Structure 1
Amino acid sequence: MPARILVVDDASFIRDMVKKHLRTLLPGVTLFEAVDGQRAVALLKKQTVDIILSDWEMPGMSGEELLTWVRGQENYQKTPFVMVTSRGDREFVVKAVQSGVSDYLVKPFSADELMTKVSKQLKRLGINPKKAAAAGGQGVAFGSIEALTGSTAPAAKSAPVASPLTGKPKPVKKAPPRKAQKGVAQLRTASLSCDCLIREMSLQALNGVIQRTESLPVLFEAAVLDIADAEGNPVARVNGYVASLQGAEPHVDTRLIKITIRFVDDDPAKFEQLSKYIARL
């Protein structure tokens, strides 16, 4: 019997990415999805699943509240529940495990990390991942490219601004004082962690500059941004994906990379925080 897995996340990009990787690992796997805890509960009342992969920070019914409900159901008391979160600090993880989480994934995560966690839970259920894949059939269903590139409109173009890293400012015709106030974000992907200087930001995306290193982000790779203001005060933690990469200097040895991170969160509280921050830029 193919494995039955429920994916819960308010960000459609994250759900599509997880489903794509799961279908690669387990061709023919039966997948269910929900955009929040409440819809997950409604689905679980009708369907039986083997594993639950759930975001922890969701608007409405959170992952923690969903876990409490799941563990209160006789038929789901021992069902593997893998927490997906942007937070990886020890105290947070320990508290989640004490609440009944079976395992956890910290965003951004690689396909290999996801596969390892899912395979571990399948083995605990007595399901051999290789045999489960073979039982699923021949075809491998992949998420459509539209899910990665066409779900949102492209970011609006804006006038060039000064780069804090190059020290070569360019003239800005509109509201130069507002453009001069920049912030910094800590960018994390599965391949690197680095500072990102903010050039432009909206409620849909962030345009920034990072230093070139041996490890570079990958297009469409999941990313987490910890955004801080110019004084270093934390503003918000936002989930997104790498939408574009471009050399910041007109030669092959450029030391700076322009990067665009498009946001995938659907959390009114985060939008409110970002709106206030953007208004001060």
Structure 2
Amino acid sequence: MKKIRLLTIDDDKFIRHLVLKTLRSQYSSFEVMEADNGRRGQAMLQRHSFDLVLCDWEMPEMNGLELLKWVRSEENLKDQPFILVTSLDSKDNVVQAVEAGVDDYIAKPFTPEQLFNKVMKQLIKSGRLTQEEAASLVRKERIAASGGAEVLAASKAPANKASKRQANSLKALLMQGEARAPAALRDLDRREALVLVKRSEVLPEIGSPVQLGLMTTDEDPPQKLSLKGYVASLQLAERNPNTDNLFVRVHFLKQDTETTEAFTQLLNSQA
């Protein structure tokens, strides 16, 4: 099978890792190169050829839309297959991306299945793979299948870093699909949260998209917000494989401006 080279551009290391793990688990001949902002991605596109570019929209130095416009203006890159990865899913953003010449886009949070399907669709559409080659791919390992194996029995519970005020004045809810589980907050900062949930109420997998709902309990009216994220790690709360208690570390994605401002205000109020 031919070698396929992809470039993933995202300032979030966790997302880059998720893309790499998803694609290589499906097809060992994927070669995935990484850049952590648009400017570095631009430099790599000038030095290397790629079968597909997966690029975040919101990045420092040069955002994804700016990079896409540059790609389409370059004679040797104007036909480069390009997918925008974004949490900006308003009609205006979609129109901007289409007008700039995007081949496809995928909204955060996405599942490994959604990512792989988008990638394969563009590789076939651009002629990098034939339908027959795509159909013959042997899927070595699914992230969804490996997630359960990555739940480790804890020798001790993760350190509780949340302040007493934070723990007492915030209620948390872990949401995955239709599942809703009350969550005991153990740690919270701008990048991630650690919560304790019941496995009988929700059982997420490594890499799966989730939302974390937060509500203050010491204000009237209470502050409420919902943060998009991915499951970064899972750990049993006790050295007992039958325990119902599970620690879930949620890595936050970029939020919209309103949510970001509300989250900053909430964190400041809990300091």
TM value normalised by structure 1? 0.67
Q: How does 1:1-281 map to 2 (within 5 A)?
A: 1-89=2-90, 92-126=93-127, 127-128=129-130, 131=133, 157-158=159-160, 176-184=164-172, 187-188=175-176, 194=180, 197=183, 199-200=185-186, 201-208=188-195, 216-218=203-205, 220-225=206-211, 228-230=214-216, 231-234=222-225, 237=227, 239-244=229-234, 246=236, 258-263=246-251, 276-281=265-270
Are the counterparts in 2 of residues 10 and 265 from structure 1 also a CA contact under 8 Å? Answer: no
Report the Cα distance in structure 2 between the residues aligned to 1:49 and 1:108, rounded to whole angstroms: 25
Show the counterpart of 1:169. Answer: none
- 1:57 to partner: Cα distance: 2.3
- 1:120 to partner: Cα distance: 0.8
Report the Cα distance in structure 2 between the residues aligned to 1:141 and 1:223, rounded to whole angstroms: 19
Distance 1:16 1:176, change over 3 A: closer
Matched residue of 1:49: which SS?
coil
Show the counterpart of 1:167. Answer: none
Amino acid at match of 1:181: S
Are the counterparts in 2 of residues 242 and 262 from structure 1 also a CA contact under 8 Å? Answer: yes
Show the counterpart of 1:171. Answer: none
Q: Deviations over 1:18-72 (max 9, x none)?
A: 1222223333233221111110001111112121111222233222222222222
Q: Deviations over 1:112-161 (max 9, x none)?
A: 22221111111111222653798x9x9x8999x9xx99xxxxx96128x9
Are the counterparts in 2 of residues 29 and 133 from structure 1 also a CA contact under 8 Å? Answer: no
Distance 1:11 1:222, change over 3 A: farther
**Most deviating of 30-39 and 55-64:** 55-64
Matched residue of 1:57: which SS?
coil
Matched residue of 1:4: which SS?
strand
Are the counterparts in 2 of residues 242 and 259 from structure 1 also a CA contact under 8 Å? Answer: no
Q: Deviations over 1:188-239 (max 9, x none)?
A: 5xx6664665623134531335576676201x224354655533444x8454
Gaps of 5+ in 1: 150-154, 162-174
Are the counterparts in 2 of residues 192 and 217 from structure 1 also a CA contact under 8 Å? Answer: no
Matched residue of 2:119: which SS?
helix
Report the Cα distance in structure 1 between the residues aligned to 2:66 and 2:179, rounded to whole angstroms: 30
What percent of counterpart residues are identical?
27
Are the counterparts in 1 of residues 52 and 81 from structure 2 also a CA contact under 8 Å? Answer: yes
Are the counterparts in 1 of residues 174 and 182 from structure 2 also a CA contact under 8 Å? Answer: yes
Report the count of equivalent residues: 249
Are the counterparts in 2 of residues 247 and 258 from structure 1 also a CA contact under 8 Å? Answer: yes
- 1:185 to partner: Cα distance: 5.8
Are the counterparts in 1 of residues 11 and 36 from structure 2 also a CA contact under 8 Å? Answer: yes
Are the counterparts in 2 of residues 10 and 266 from structure 1 also a CA contact under 8 Å? Answer: no
Report the Cα distance in structure 1 between the residues aligned to 2:175 and 2:90, rounded to whole angstroms: 16
Q: Deviations over 1:153-174 (max 9, x none)?
A: xx96128x9xxxxxxxxxxxxx
